[in-house]
Structure 1
């Protein structure tokens, strides 16, 4: 159950929104006379087609629950607030500008107490560095993530290789198609957790991201990309994949944005790419809840374009440039 104190009737708020980590609004009457949204998540309960529903940060639908949203916002209220304020602000921005705003917000949270608390609890074992296989055949560029022992977590080596490959595809107009796949049972479990906390200065972290973020060159020629996903597609892996013009997935694929539980927001471009695929409200649900969604839900929401069971990729056959 969600505490009644989190259920708000905006038509009865003479003094504005109360000070809360999250508010729930019933969408069961006519249009609501809502004041401007507060600096924390406001989530609708009921009809997603309600005339006031689109003003809110999200409208609850399966597999996300009210209790799960409330617990997430209570656990990391600063990150929850930053995520929703960012999504509202960048909804109509050009992609490059929106990515920069995401990076600034992410950097601020990196230096914050909620992320510091997660770093203090974190337990990770270092893994061998990642590798990206790059094969050029005529106008086709094929990329394969190859770090299956770490479920293709994206470390600095792999991130830099992706940035380089995406930059080549951006600048070389003879490349007409880019495919991105991954070796092993998972597409990518996101950023390498062992590398989180390496840079705590928000200005330095932002400067590094603006020079090395793979999402920047990827987004500039997103129309030539096809990403295929098998197994888990988490965090940075999903954030990059969502930029592609075509995204397919195996029937057993699943998708998750878990950053809020780390005191963060998606910081690899996902606050930009995911809302542009599934809308700001469903992106808000994924970010606030950290809930996994399966391939069928991803297809229904538009996060992927088709469910296809492709043969496993064999990185041993790829020629590395």
Structure 2
């Protein structure tokens, strides 16, 4: 999977800089094939909770740079056209970064689809030039107890509901799909992306691993090795490579 010496050197440097997160990720990815998707989400959350309490993650929280300006709360606009529902991430001025209100709205949207079997499809889109820049950096560290954070994820993680309607779930990506945004999208049965789109899992540099369902969703789409490569390297991949890997199903203009 590592195609060049410079790429291998970059990968080694990233692993050495975050050895606990890298080791925990690899252990989790090795475990996932023996688990159901639901149990995999639980295992991922427990692994994430373990790393939340680490010094490496606390140090990252202390160093992080949070964009200044007025607080813009996120949301999801829903519309129904016949038997189809369209859900639109609506926080464009923050790059559609997923904060608690948006996360709760996504959970409720997928729960609605699971309750109403007359809905034949839910399509997830986003406003403006970024699909999602991932989880809101300002909310990292707001729940300081890892056990409590795990219980919150167990009850409100959108991936837990998206998993049960994955066969009716479609995603249309334009622009950046990073972290939690990509992790949720990867559960869909069909993903299209524009040719300018790009994808990234940057969590290792934060001292953690993907915790919004990505270890489960991406391994089921692109396999353990490519998922590990994306997380351990933290590098972006373009739309063409995403298509070749099977991370997206089609490129559109």
Same fold (TM over 0.5): yes
Instruction: Choose which of 81, 105, 116 in structure 1 pairs with 2:23.
Output: 81
Tell me the distance in 1 between the aligned counterparts of 2:210 and 2:3.
21
Q: TM-score, normalised by structure 1?
A: 0.77
Equivalenced residue count is 251
Deviates more, 1:213-222 or 1:88-97: 88-97
Q: CA RMSD in A?
A: 1.3
Aligned to 1:109: 51
- Could you tell me how far apart the structure 1 residues matched to 2:40 and 2:82 are? 33
Write out the 4+ residue segments of structure 1 that deviate beyond 6 Å after TM superposition.
Answer: none
1:185 pairs, out of 108, 129, 132, with 129
Are residues 63 and 188 of structure 1, via their aligned partners in 2, closer, same or farther at CA, if it must alter by over 3 Å?
Answer: farther
1:172 is aligned to 116
Say whether 1:137 aligns with 2:72: no
Bigger drift between 177-186 and 60-69 goes to: 60-69
User: Equivalent residue for 1:296?
Assistant: 240
The residue that corresponds to 1:208 in the other structure is 152
- Aligned counterpart, 1:286: 230
What SS does the aligned partner of 2:88 have? strand
1:157 maps to 101
Q: Identify which of structures 1 and 2 has the higher relative contact order when contacts are C-alpha pairs closer than 8 Å and 6+ apart.
A: 2
User: Which structure 1 segments of 5+ residues have no match?
Assistant: 1-58, 310-321
Aligned equivalent of 2:185: 241
Among 231, 247, 253, the alignment partner of 2:197 is 253
Distance 1:205 1:228 in 2: 30
Q: Secondary structure at the match of 2:51?
A: helix
- What SS does the aligned partner of 1:91 have? helix
Structure 2: gaps of 5 or more residues: none
Q: How far has the Cα of 1:123 moved from its partner?
A: 1.2
Moved more, 152-161 or 167-176: 167-176
The change in CA–CA distance for 1:62 and 1:270 in structure 2 (over 3 A counts) is: farther
* Match among 91, 96, 99 for residue 41 of structure 2: 99
For the Cα contact (< 8 Å) 1:63–1:291, is it kept in 2? no
**Normalising by structure 2, what TM-score?**
0.97
Q: What is the rounded CA distance, in whole Å, between the counterparts of 1:289 and 1:185 in structure 2?
A: 25
Q: 1:125 aligns with which of 67, 72, 78?
A: 67
Quick one: which of 140, 143, 160 aligns to 1:199? 143
Q: Deviation at 1:64?
A: 8.1
- Cα distance in structure 2, aligned partners of 1:200 and 1:228: 34
Instruction: Give the Cα–Cα distance (whole angstroms) in 2 for the partners of residues 64 and 231 of structure 1.
Output: 27
Query: CA offset at residue 218 of structure 1?
Result: 0.2
User: How many angstroms apart in 2 are the aligned matches of 1:67 and 1:186?
Assistant: 30
Task: Report the structure number with the largest CA radius of gyration.
Answer: 1
CA shift, 1:82, in A, is: 0.4
Structure 1 residue aligned with 2:10? 68
Alpha-carbon distance between aligned partners in 1 of 2:143 and 2:108, rounded to the nearest angstrom: 22
How far apart, in 2, do the equivalents of 1:75 and 1:200 lie? 23
